[in-house]
Amino acid sequence: MSKFFIILVSLFMCIIHSHAHHSLYKDASLPISERVEDLLSNMTLKEKAMQLTQGRIGENDNLNNLENGKQKFIPTTGSFIFFGTNVIYRNEYQKRAVEDTRLGIPLLFAYDVIHGYRTVYPISLGQACSFNTNLVEKACRFAAKEASDTGINWTFSPMIDVARDPRWGRVSEGYGEDPLVNSAFCIASVKGYQGNDLTHSDTIAACLKHFVGYSESVAGIDYAYSDISERAMWETYLPPYLAGINAGAATIMSGFNDINGVPAVCNDFYLNQILRKKWGFNGVVVSDWNAIRQLKNQGFSKNPLVQGSASLKAGNDIDMMSGIYMRIPKMVEQGYIDEATVDDAVRRVLELKFKLGLFENPYTTVQEPELCYLKEDYINISEQLAIESMVLLKNNQVLPITSSTKIFVVGNLLNDNEALLGSWAMRGRSEDVFDIMSGLELYKPTDVILVDSAENADIILMCIGETQKMSGENGSRSTIKLHNQGLVNEYKKYGKKIILITSSGRPISFQDIEENADAILHIWQPGTTTGTALAKIIFGINNPSGKLAMTFPRTAGQIPIYYNKHQSSRIGNRDWSGLYQDIESTPMYEFGYGLSYTTFAYTDLHINQDTLEAQVTITNTGERAGKETVLWFISDPEASITQPIKKLKYFEKIDLLPGESKTVFFPINKSNHLSYDLNGKSIFEAGTFNILVGTQLSSFEVN
């Protein structure tokens, strides 16, 4: 055999081998870790940089987010925020990545599915007031179905920033002021979005945001500096993230905020030391929109190579929309960062894509769009969640309306369906919303008449509240007075009973209007099924069961005000306990407050000193069936590190028929319920603890 022929054959074999070797990552029978390493070993530095870059496809409908220069589609980009709804269009982009590039790495399509996609559920702060995690898990499951049917495989949700300042518009997006409530709904959302197997076509990767402490924005201003003590971080802001990571959340988004002088996007301590090293999170961290370039504004650096390398080294894997990570080859070349660090980030992105099954199933099945949305199950869950999120704040025996009554309905909510959808309504449409008047018409008893003037009415049903843009991102307000509250005083002159139906994306001040209302039902922003959910409550078909997940101050001057505060050094008599001189210092309505059309009695609180199991009996002492959320609070009145006056440690929601009693149990354990956090370490100190549930209070000793 001639030498030439031998060389030719061996060359051919090398090509075959290298090609075969190169496509090892496409072999689905191999472990993901092997596929990742094989693919990574074949990538150029530029290809790696593109995998860490996130662009957008479709028209950006978030007007808060400006863009840097013209967007051009580069098929080797790692991920896109998909503002489109056309699956064929989406698959064409995917095809260019999978079939027209050297390595065929599929794209990730992300979107902000915060409280629904096309079917809109109540805003998250309203959902939290339901205290019904099963219902929220179902809602997120259905939201994932609608979104994945449209080609989305990654949502930037749940937002779990514990919120204590209602001036900040984004309190609407999270689950209120309590760390346990945010943790519980974080777990429910992650389970709902991700299901049991991320390779299933109807699951989407969750994203815990905005890591960390973004809600502690100075003065309630958005995007601002956050000055947070380590105590507050460990006691309040970090726990929901650990809960979400333990629930298997695939990704995390770093915040816009500057954390005590080190902006979140390049904060090595929280991203690398805590998230990755202490908690072992090995998922993807994505920046917020243009956050890396914004490091210039925050006084960190004007140099994009410093901005980018600092963020990447800190553990921020993907650059959302700044384009700076596309300069990673230059950062490596000039010694700002080593390629091994780049590889770590690329590994996590590739692993996410393999976990999502994108290499095997990169395309979304094309269906008739309208058949994917607003399905009966989705609507039913949306309505149930809307009903359970509404909070009855006052009722002078005027609700429910059941007997023959003439009602005059008035207020800005009657003609503003967008307001009822709330912020981040995404593909939700105002024309899909079941509006308030239609709901009242549909469910009113035959002898209840809707009249067209206040004079002719027995009751004025006043539906007032914030517009969609008054809360959410970039929705900070210096006052929390209710938008259009002047209407209450205007209609007071008719001398009729006034039922206030209020809507907002934040706790609001009822200081000026509470006394003129005979009933107040706060509905938050209930979403697509507002009209039917509200009518069912007003006419008593359903009994309200919502409880506040965030305290309502009397006035903005009290902010920050929250239930789990630390004790003052002077307490008791108001004259010398440092309280306000000009107003009552307690909140208007505290965390956990909410009325029902029935009443519940709490009796026989007992703690088993051996097993530390607490139990209490709850009886429905009224005439109607109702749901009651049982909130268990623990306090530790003496500890080397002072503790909040009380902390929610357990909750569950029960159904009770009239006259029915149930015994509810709370299995107390030292580490979860009686210890406190000292910079990440759980500390238990023996001593006396107090337990509060409903009207029952007791103490117990633990050694």
Q: Which residues are catalytic, by number? A: 288
Give residues 21-40 in contact with ligand GLC (rule: CB under 6 A).
Answer: none
Nearest to 57 by CA among 91, 19, 23, 83: 83
CB nearer to ligand GLC: give 223 or 650: 223
Least distance to ligand GLC, CB of residue 622, Å: 42
User: Which of 62, 586, 675, 698 is in the footprint of ligand GLC by CB under 6 A?
Assistant: 62
Beta strand segments in 637-695, E: 647-656, 661-667, 676-678, 681-683, 687-693
> Shortest gap between Cβ of 430 and ligand GLC (angstroms)?
21
Helices assigned H by DSSP within 566-666:
none
Dihedral sign from CA coordinates of 253, 258, 260, 266: positive
Query: How many Å apart are CA 157 and CA 155, to the nearest integer?
Result: 5
The label of the residue with tokens 């309190």 reads 171
Nearer to ligand GLC, 64 or 367 (CB): 64
Host H or E run for residue 211: strand 207-211
User: Site map for ligand GLC, 274-293, x if CB under 6 A?
Assistant: --------------xx----
Nearest to 432, CA basis, from 563, 533, 527, 302: 527
Closer Cβ to ligand GLC, 23 or 65, answer by number:
65
Which residue, 311 or 509, is less far from ligand GLC as judged by CB?
311
Nearest residue to ligand GLC, using CB?
156
- Written as one letter, the residue type at 422 is G
Shortest Å, Cβ 86 to ligand GLC: 19
- Binding segment for ligand GLC (CB under 6 A), chosen from 45-53, 57-65, 236-244, 550-558, is 57-65
Pattern of binders to ligand GLC over 109-148, x per CB under 6 A? Answer: ---x------------------------------------
Instruction: Verify binding: residue 258, ligand GLC, rule CB under 6 A.
Output: no
Q: Is 686 helix (H, G, I), strand (E, B) or coil?
A: coil
| Site for ligand GLC, residues 362 to 401, rule: CB under 6 A | none
Q: Is residue 209 a contact residue for ligand GLC (CB under 6 A)?
A: yes
311 close to 337: Cβ distance less than 8 angstroms? no
Residues within window 511-550 making contact with ligand GLC, judged by CB under 6 A: none
CB of 286 to ligand GLC, least distance (A): 9
The size of the interface with ligand GLC (CB under 6 A), counted in residues, is 10
Q: Does 156 bind ligand GLC (CB under 6 A)?
A: yes
Q: CB under 8 Å to 695, separation ≥6 — which residues?
A: 601, 602
Report the C-alpha gap between 619 and 616 in whole angstroms.
Answer: 10
Whether residue 340 contacts residue 86, with contact meaning beta carbons closer than 8 Å, is answered with no
473 binds ligand GLC (CB under 6 A): yes
Nearer to ligand GLC, 53 or 635 (CB): 53
In whole angstroms, the minimum distance from the beta carbon of 170 to ligand GLC comes to 8
List the one residue out of 381, 370, 470, 475 whose CA is nearest residue 427: 370
Question: What H or E segment, with its residue span, contains residue 125?
Answer: helix 124-130
- Dihedral-angle region of residue 390 (phi above 0 means left; psi in -120 to 50 means alpha; beta otherwise): beta
Binding to ligand GLC by residue 222, rule CB under 6 A? no
Please name which of 58, 178, 168, 39 lies closest in space to residue 106, comparing C-alpha atoms: 39
328 and 41 Cβ atoms separated by less than 8 Å: no
Least CB distance to ligand GLC at residue 377 (A): 27
Query: From the CB of 77, what's the least distance to ligand GLC, in Å?
Result: 16
Q: Which is nearer to ligand GLC, 53 or 485 (CB)?
A: 53
Decide if 188 contacts 137 (C-beta within 8 A).
Answer: yes
* Cα(163)–Cα(183) distance, integer angstroms: 13
| Closer to ligand GLC by Cβ: residue 435 or 473 | 473
- Footprint (CB under 6 A) of ligand GLC, residues 70-89: 81
For ligand GLC, the closer of residues 471 and 485 by Cβ is: 471
- Shortest distance, CB of residue 6 to ligand GLC, whole angstroms? 58
Report in angstroms how near the CB of residue 59 gets to ligand GLC at its nearest. 13
Specify the amino acid at residue 272.
N
65 binds ligand GLC (CB under 6 A): yes
The least distance separating ligand GLC from the CB of residue 273, rounded to whole angstroms, comes to: 24
Distance of closest approach, residue 64 Cβ to ligand GLC, in angstroms: 6
Half-sphere exposure of 608 (CA within 13 A, CB side): 11
Told to check if 696 binds ligand GLC by CB under 6 A, we report: no
Residue 394: both structure tokens together: 């006052």
* Beta pairing class for 108-111 and 459-465: unpaired
DSSP-derived letter for residue 189 is H
**Residue 259: partners with Cβ closer than 8 Å, 6 or more residues away:** 212, 213, 226, 228, 267, 270
Q: Which parts of 238-390 fold into alpha helices (H)? A: 239-246, 268, 304-314, 328-333, 339-355, 369-372, 376-389
Place of tokens 């460990």: 234
- Contact flags string 93-112 toward ligand GLC, x per CB under 6 A: -------------------x
| Residues between 289 and 318 with contacts to ligand GLC, criterion CB under 6 A | 289
Question: Closer CB to ligand GLC, residue 43 or residue 52?
Answer: 52
First-to-final CA distance of the chain:
87
- Sign, CA dihedral 268-272-273-275, equals positive
Residues paired with 653 in a beta bridge: 629
CA–CA distance, 601 with 619 (Å, rounded to integer): 5
Query: Which listed range, 60-68, 86-94, 573-581, 656-664, lies at the site for ligand GLC (CB under 6 A)?
Result: 60-68
At 441 the three-state DSSP class reads helix
For ligand GLC, the closer of residues 264 and 513 by Cβ is 264
User: CB-wise, 114 or 605, nearer to ligand GLC?
Assistant: 114
Binding residues for ligand GLC, per CB under 6 A? 62, 64-65, 81, 112, 156, 209, 288-289, 473
